[in-house]
Amino acid sequence: MLVKDNSKNLKFNFKSKINYSINEFFSLNMFNPINQKNYFDNYNLKLFKKKQFRTHVFGMGGSSLSTKLLAQFLDPSCLGKRLFIYDNPSPVKIKNVLFDLNINRNDKFIFISKSGNTIETKYFLQIVIKILNQKKFPNIFNNFIFITENKDNYMKNFAKKNNVLCFDHDPNIGGRFSIFSITALLPLILIGFSLTKILNSFKNAKSLFLKNHTKLSKLIFYSISYEKKYDLCNIVGLSYHDKMNSVNEWYRQIFAESLGKNKNAKNYISSYGSIDQHSQFQLYIDGPHDKHYIFFKLSSILNPISSNSSLIKHYNLINTLEAGAIKTLQQKKFLVTQVITNDDFNDYCYQLLYLIFDIYLRAKFEKINFLDQPAVEILKKNTKT
């Protein structure tokens, strides 16, 4: 992974620094699955050894996005074929998918809610039961798996009553930072990915990050200082490659839920490639100069477009559109950061650590707790049944 910006051309000098401890950072509970040698021994994953299932994941926010984040990079073709993500309680997609599929014993339905009382997850559970009953599918609960905290809650009680396999959600890990835990990894294991290989990639990324965090922190310090100096109130994350779209969505979530806690909070806007290049870029280029642009790039060669056939060479057109956007925004003297990742899962994991580190340092700067979500808890109470 390479992070670079156009700071030299902007001629902005900064002297501020945020004191932090890299040991404190990696001692956060979210890293327990990496740090603790036998962490996953608490889960009976032998049940799925040498088996592969078509897997359906039902959950809100990080409960499903964490899986999507990893799967989209590891194998984008698995989404919508071997792995289905349901993150919106609208019946249209759920009914269209489940009624069209020939549901059989090879299908597993994973319902995720840390609290076990999330109203959307209750909805997912009830609508899936209804659809499978309409399809006259036998013994439906044999195909269900719950991930929830081991305490008195709706899902835990439902699992006990109906003999549903239930895995304990780590109570110390919040949903948006659950990418290293059973929440994100169980669906990947079910569709055939190796837990050992994934964990090795996480650990390799951590080792590399320990060596390079000082250099990376300076880039983050620069961004924070520049944003403060020029009162930039918007961060625009742009992704052109399909493999990078979910990391843009995930960074939006961890940014908003972790940092949106006072009047200094910035808006995070997810923007998608050539779609927004044809709809938003007039505003981005000539609109208010209140934005910091972050491009989530996949490292690949940019070839000149010399003919129509060269348009479809690898990612040539995507790279050309992306390069044009970066050049234009830099010409307009916007702060433009490029997070460039090799098409390699180890490097992708390194990028994920960098983005969490970015949130950690921003929270240090604002002197806020980036792990809680008080407003979200109020929202949940107001929508609870």
326-384, pLDDT tens digit by residue?
Answer: 999 999 999 999 999 999 999 999 999 999 999 999 999 999 999 987 776 776 677 66
**Residue 49 pLDDT:** 86
Question: Which residues, including other chains, have CB under 8 Å from residue 141's CB and lie 6 or more apart?
Answer: 162, 163, 164
Class of domain 53-191 (CATH, top level)? alpha beta
Element (H, E) at 335: strand 335-341
**Residue 226 pLDDT:** 94
**Residue 344 pLDDT:** 96
Q: Check for a shared fold between 2-20+211-371 and 53-191.
A: yes
CA diameter of the chain: 68
Separation CA 122–CA 109 (nearest Å): 13
- What residue spans define the domains of the chain? 2-20+211-371, 53-191
Does the pLDDT at position 231 exceed 80? yes
288: helix, coil or strand? coil
Element (H, E) at 360: helix 345-366
- Determine how β-strand 2-5 pairs with β-strand 335-341: antiparallel
Confidence of residue 305 (pLDDT cuts 50, 70, 90): confident
What percentage of the chain carries pLDDT values higher than 70?
A: 95
- What are 31-44's pLDDT values in tens digits? 999 999 999 998 99
181 phi-psi bin (left φ>0, alpha ψ -120 to 50, beta other): beta
**Residue 382 pLDDT:** 74
Does the pLDDT at position 300 exceed 90? no
pTM of this structure: 0.94
- What are 240-296's pLDDT values in tens digits? 999 999 999 999 999 999 999 999 999 999 999 889 999 999 999 999 999 999 999
For the ranges 131-140, 221-230, 366-375, which has the lowest average pLDDT? Answer: 366-375
For the ranges 12-21, 59-68, 147-156, 343-352, which has the lowest average pLDDT? Answer: 12-21
Question: Which residues, including other chains, have CB under 8 Å from residue 269's CB and lie 6 or more apart?
Answer: 234, 235, 236, 237, 252
User: What mean pLDDT, rounded, does the chain reach?
Assistant: 93
Could you please state the CATH topology (level 3) that the domain comprising 2-20+211-371 is classified under.
Rossmann fold (3.40.50)
**Residue 245 pLDDT:** 94
**Residue 17 pLDDT:** 79
Mean pLDDT along residues 25-53: 94
Question: Which residues, including other chains, have CB under 8 Å from residue 348's CB and lie 6 or more apart?
Answer: 73, 201, 247, 341
Q: Higher pLDDT residue, 329 or 301?
A: 329
**Residue 11 pLDDT:** 83
Confidence of residue 13 (pLDDT cuts 50, 70, 90): confident
DSSP 79: B
**Residue 8 pLDDT:** 85
Separation CA 28–CA 206 (nearest Å): 13
**Residue 14 pLDDT:** 74
